[in-house]
Chains A and B, each alone.
Chain A
Amino acid sequence: MGLETVLFYVFGALAIVTSLMVVGQRNPVHSVLLLIASFGALAGLYVLLDAPFTAVTQIIVYAGAIMVLFLFVVMLLNVGREDAAEYDRSHPFNRPLERRAGTALVIALVVELAWAVWHVSVRQEGALRDVAPGSVASVAEIGRVLYRDYAFAFEATSVLILVAMVGAIILARPRPQSH
């Protein structure tokens, strides 16, 4: 095994273990820190894929800016240890219709992921193969691909993020008391 293979397994294992620990933690600050470690491991994987620009962007945007904001909010609200919450019938996650819709979406996501992995890795299809190695390293190339070839996907992603923001506000909004 070459050094790159060893490093791949080290970073991959680190990313998986820390991601699992993020969910398993009771202390929100520890969760945030483990998420940062997970992002760092992902950045290491990007470096191994010859994409230093993506790696550095990952650190700046996710591990740097976004997680500082997370940590800031967790500290500002002074969130304590999470204990098992009581079953709340009125919470959106616990209504029957929403539960079924959520389950369907999760199944769809798993199927899509399996399909993508099958086509890309087993049948060697798709766009990944067409990209010459090393070309993703060039910032100019990334800019060209992002703003010209995939402009629609790029804009659609930003709409998706907007939807997530709106969703977060709706979930966090105090619900009117039902009689």
Chain B
Amino acid sequence: MDPVLIAQVALIVVIFHALLLSAAGMVWAERKVAARLQQRFGPVYTGPYGLLQPFADVFKLFFKEELKPSAADAALFYLAPVISAAAAFAAFCVIPVGPPTDFFGLLPHPIPLAVADVNVAVLVIFAITSMGIYGIVLAGWSSNSKYSLLGGLRSSAQMISYELSYGLALAAVLVMANTFSLQEIVKQQAGYWHLFGVPIAPRWFVFPQILGFTVYMIAGIAETNRAPFDFPEAEQELVAGYHTEYSSMSFALFFLAEYVNMVTVSAVATNLFLGGWHLQPLPEWLGFFWFAIKASAILFFYLWLRWTMPRFRYDQLMAFGWKVLLPLAVLNVLATAAGVIYFGS
């Protein structure tokens, strides 16, 4: 058989399971970080440092009864969590997690370390993540429960509002890089930014795009429904929001989707703004580790933020999205375009 084909298939399997594991790791990290920020220990009994806790949680959920409200729309009720989880996993397939490699000479030519190397990768991610919202909205509607419906409505309003800023933050980087391909964008971030001929910083897009990066991170948190923007599941007002009526593995799928979405947003931020697999001047062939370190740093920032900031008020969320974040994002795109024309990229 063709060794390249075997490598591609292996890559799909490995990345899928790495994502599953990263979601489990995130659940564990979330509980540990939350506990530490609140002067507690968090899970300690299941395995060393409570590392097996997420697996114990999943086994518990496996054996729980699958409940469905009698007035629910059955087909959509069971379809919604599947849409959520499928969109979360599918979005990751175009993200390169390391430099193209031939696995130490095993393959005749290097292959990109991404499941699918598409030349419009950034747009594909944007398209698939915008599909994930249907899972939440349909869960809210099909449950036939007032809390779920309000959660679903809130999340669609929130995602419509923040998707614009999210897309415009991406657009600024695309204007700078003059390409839609993630591989190309990462490759352009090799080397250093020079000031008067002296290298001052790695050539990452975060330095010229500091405003774009800020907008991206804020909009990304809102898109993944994390605190301080976790209105779709505001516990004090909506019980558990859109997944109030879900139990067992259907609930687990929503839970999984949320964490995989966080990993995806962090991975995209790493590739677009933080130089992807480049960590100058460390060697590039260890790229996967630099990528993982940067993505983990962003993920930690997510957790840190959640357990530090209180939730916004709903009108504040909308006012902030439309009156602050969107103008800033538009301004950033215009300034970037002007800069690219003036300096010739």
| A52 at interface by CB-CB < 8 Å | yes
Tell me, in angstroms, the Cα distance from A75 to B118 when the chains sit together: 35
Decide if B137 is an interface residue (CB 8 Å cutoff).
Answer: yes
Asked whether A64 lies within 8 Å of B137 as measured between CB atoms, the reply is no
Given the interface contacts A59-B131, A64-B131, A75-B149, does A52 sit within 8 Å of B160 by beta carbon?
no
The residues of A with any CB-CB pair to B shorter than 8 Å are 29, 33, 36, 52-53, 56-57, 59-60, 63-65, 68-69, 71-72, 75-76, 139
The CA of A68 and the CA of B123, in the complex, are separated in Å by 18
CB distance from A38 to the nearest CB of B (A): 14
Q: Mark B155-195, 1 if CB is under 8 A from A, else 0.
A: 01101100100010000000000001000000000000000
Option from A33, A56, A76, A139 in Cβ contact (under 8 Å) with B153: A76
B120-159 CB mask vs A (1 if < 8 Å, else 0) is: 1001101110110110011011000000010011001101
B120 with A72: CB separation less than 8 A? no
| Tally of B interface residues using CB under 8 Å | 28
B-side interface residues toward A, CB under 8 Å?
Answer: 73, 76, 118-120, 123-124, 126-128, 130-131, 133-134, 137-138, 140-141, 149, 152-153, 156-157, 159-160, 163, 167, 180
Residue of A56, A59, A75, A139 with most partner-chain B CB within 10 A: A56
A69 contacts across to B, CB distance below 8 A: 160
A72 to B167, CA, bound (A): 20
Beta-carbon contact of A56 and B160 below 8 Å: no
Closest CB of chain A to B129's CB: distance in Å? 9
| Nearest opposing residue in chain B for A78, CB measure | B149
A123 to B40, CA, bound (A): 77
Chain A nearest Cβ from B151, distance in angstroms:
11
Q: A65-B163, A71-B137 are in contact. Are A57 and B156 (CB under 8 A)?
A: no
Write out the residue numbers on chain B whose beta carbons fall within 8 Å of the beta carbon of A29: 73, 76, 138, 141
Whether B130 pairs with A65 at a CB distance below 8 angstroms is: yes
In the complex, chain A residues whose CB is within 8 Å of the CB of B180: 53, 139
